[in-house]
Amino acid sequence: MSEAVYGAKCTACGAVSYPRHLVCPKCRGEAFQPAEIGGEGLVLTYTDVYALAIDYDVRYLRLAIVELDGGLRVTGQLLDEEPKLGKRVQTTVGVVRETAGKPIYGLQFVPA
């Protein structure tokens, strides 16, 4: 089963937001259609988060803000042992957590 992560594309101006907003930050429009999030981009910043909920099986999560080639900035899990600012990464979708035995999918970034 292939999973995907979606943002929202404003039907008035075409701006894409992720995560979804109730009002378009560009034109104040209120009508949206789903827009799949993906592609390549550059790591703008990253951090290692150690203060996780007790049910996480990992010691820490490495999160990053990535600017995709189209200009959209997104946050997701960075799966890179040698992260660097400005490094090119590819967007993937993977399991970021399991709750009650059910997978929760989210954005992940791997070196391009």
The predicted-structure confidence for 52-95, as pLDDT tens digits, reads as follows: 888 788 889 999 999 999 999 999 999 999 999 999 999 999 99
Pair 58, 81 in one domain: yes
Structural domain tally of the chain? Answer: 2
Residues 6+ apart with CB under 8 A from 52: 58, 60, 61
Are 2 and 45 contained in the same domain?
no
Q: Tell me if 61 sits within 8 A of 49, measured CB to CB.
A: yes
Instruction: Specify whether 69 is located in the same domain as 54.
Output: yes
Q: Are residues 82 and 94 in the same domain?
A: yes
CA distance 84 to 37: 22
Residue 75 structure tokens: 């946050």
pLDDT at 1 over 70: no
Examine the domain organization and report whether 18 and 59 are in the same domain: no
For range 15-40, the mean pLDDT: 95
What pLDDT score was predicted for residue 36?
A: 94
Same domain, 47 and 16: no
The model's pTM: 0.88
Same domain, 75 and 32: no
One domain for residues 11 and 66: no
The parent domain of residue 69 ranges over 38-112
- pLDDT value at residue 2: 57
pLDDT, average across residues 19-37: 95
Residue 31: pLDDT band (50, 70, 90) is: very high
